[in-house]
Amino acid sequence: MQPIYVNPFTDFGFKKIFGEDASKESLIDFLNALLPNQTQIVNLTFKNTENLGQTIIDRKAIYDIYCENELGEKFIVELQKAKQDFFRERMVYYSTFPITEQAEKGTYWNYKLKAVYCIGILDFIFNDYQNEEEKKRVLHIIDLKDQFGKTFYEKLTYIYIEMPNFNKSEDELVTRLDKWLYFIKNLEEFEDMPKIFKDEIPFVKAFEKAAISKYTKDELAIYNNNVKVYRDLRGAFDTATREGMELGIKEGILIGKIKGKEEGIKEGKIEIALKLLKTNIPIAEIAFITGLSKEEIENIYK
């Protein structure tokens, strides 16, 4: 059966639900669910992402959503469908644009800045955490602190949501953020709007924007292409992981018979890493799959 609602992990679906003027109320409600009580948004203005940066190269760093609240504070919202190397670095790089654009022209400027929030909704898990508790965490909020845990600068905040870790059922939803994550995670599977959303205007509007039956032919064509890209990314990752494992195991068994078990295992891991590197899977993910260190994988890449 064809889905009734869009896949929010596609560029088209995400921007349709949160990135248009008619979607502003839903976006404000979602952001307020993420932000502390003292930073609640009253109104937002969408900004043109293509005007960011001082050069043509800089302007290629285009976000999914870039907006500003009534206080002049900046919000970048980025949906990331698949893992890639240096994603954290990319978000740090992105955050520099709404900072530098605040520079005032003229002979004097006191460097007073408005706050910048970078929000990443991730359809993957980083897998480079130090313990099991970190691996299972859904929400990560990062700001600048010194070695004693004291906040050094409170106007630059990174927020990451690892969606695969969110597994609450409808009867387990407690907070406003729980409801939004449940909406994002399960939207494409809904056959109708669940009762928990029916009296909530921001959610009702989000469902209206997500209804595929209301799209024009041109919009449907764009969306269907987005769905194909999303599924291809997921399929490529799953296939590369499986094939890499199969190839590595076979190679490891062969070398193990000739040179010994330990060396065979090591060679098998290297073959797995080689296969995965060819499909542009991030080094951190390959390290997690194979058990090799990042340094070993970087040497294989070279």
Question: Which pTM does this prediction carry?
Answer: 0.74
What average pLDDT score do residues 271-286 get?
Answer: 69
pLDDT classification of 58: cutoffs 50, 70, 90? very low
Domain segments of the chain: what residues?
A: 11-214, 224-301
**212-238 pLDDT tens trace:** 999 999 998 988 888 876 766 555 555
Chain position carrying tokens 């109104």? 43
pLDDT of res. 119: 94
pLDDT at 60 over 50: no
Q: Above pLDDT 90, what percent of the chain?
A: 47
Residue 45 and residue 65 in contact, taking contact as beta carbons nearer than 8 Å: no
CA distances (Å), origin 135, targets 55, 77, 139: 38, 22, 11
Mean pLDDT of the chain: 81
For 78, phi then psi, to 5°, come to -125, 125
| CB within 8 Å of 301: residues ≥ 6 apart | 277, 283
**64-97 pLDDT tens trace:** 899 999 999 999 998 887 666 677 888 898 899 9
What average pLDDT score do residues 255-263 get?
Answer: 52
**109-131 pLDDT tens trace:** 889 999 999 999 998 887 667 67
Name the residue with higher pLDDT: 83 or 240: 83
Name the residue with higher pLDDT: 151 or 283: 151
Give the dihedral sign, CA 159/160/166/169: positive
pLDDT at 42 over 60: yes
pLDDT at 107 over 80: no
pLDDT at 266 over 80: no
CA distances (Å), origin 80, targets 176, 225, 239, 289: 22, 17, 19, 20
pLDDT at 252 over 70: no
